[in-house]
Amino acid sequence: ILSKRAYHEKVVEHYNNPRNVGSFDKNDPSVGTGLVGAPACGDVMKLQIKVDEATGEIVDACFKTFGCGSAIASSSVASEWIKGKPMDEAVSIKNSDIAKHLSLPPVKLHCSMLAEDAIKAAVKDYQQKKEKLSMEASTHV
Ligand code: FES
Ligand code: FES
């Protein structure tokens, strides 16, 4: 349990009750996986999205974060925010929005940066996978 003095209560709440912890099968073509690390501290975040191929909407999201309380809280918030959003809206989520929502202090900004990076990486992975699959499909015609 994190000290309330050092962390805003929303961080503590998300740390104690993180939303959407888990993993999807990364080989599922509807899944995008973003794995990112923070150079400043070595913490690692894996964020996965499940995408509705027809609409490009993120229908589900989950994460696993090996990092500090702020990183866990940031991934929890990010996973909630991107659910139900089209991918292009999800990638426009800024780490400053997450940091503001959680009232992160300046020294913890890099923790929310992980979440922004992870969203972008997950969307990129999904798109690259889709491109590869459609290329494979066209060579088999
Ligand atoms: Fe959880 Fe805002 S406190 S998303
Ligand atoms: Fe590194 Fe928070 S201290 S992600």
Contact (Cβ atoms closer than 8 angstroms) between residue 24 and residue 9 = no
Does residue 45 lie in a domain region? yes
Does residue 88 lie in a domain region? yes
The pLDDT value recorded for residue 6 is 60
Q: Which ligand is nearest to the CA of 111?
A: 2
Q: Which of 111, 113, 118, 121 is catalytic?
A: 111
111 is catalytic: yes
What residues are paired with 37 via a beta bridge?
44
Residue 69 and residue 73: Cα distance in Å, rounded? Answer: 6
- Domain holding 104, by residue range, is 9-125
Here the tokens at position 115 are 């979440």
Does residue 134 lie in a domain region? no
Q: Which atom of ligand 2 is nearest to the CA of 41?
A: 1
CA 57 to chain centre: 15
Among 81, 91, 101, 92, smallest CA distance to 125 is for 91
Does residue 2 lie in a domain region? no
Q: Which atom of ligand 1 is nearest to the CA of 13?
A: 3
Does residue 15 lie in a domain region? yes
Does residue 135 lie in a domain region? no
- How many folded domains does the chain comprise? 1
Does residue 92 lie in a domain region? yes
Q: What CATH number corresponds to the domain at position 79?
A: 3.90.1010.10
Q: Which atom of ligand 2 is nearest to the CA of 69?
A: 2
68 is catalytic: no
The residue whose C-alpha atom lies closest to atom 4 belonging to ligand 2 is 111
Ligand 2, residues at Cβ distance < 6 Å: 38, 41, 43, 67-68, 70-71, 110-111, 114
Task: State which of 70, 77, 112 you would mutate to test the pocket of ligand 2, scoring each by most atoms of that ligand within 8 A of its C-beta.
Answer: 70
Among 74, 68, 69, 64, smallest CA distance to 95 is for 74
Does residue 74 lie in a domain region? yes
**Ligand 1 and 9: CB distance under 6 A:** no
Three-state secondary structure call for residue 71: helix
Q: How do the pLDDT tens digits run along the chain, 141 residues long? A: 555 456 788 999 998 999 999 999 999 999 999 999 988 889 999 999 999 999 999 999 999 999 999 999 999 999 999 999 999 999 999 999 999 999 999 999 999 999 999 999 999 999 999 999 888 888 765
The pLDDT value recorded for residue 4 is 47
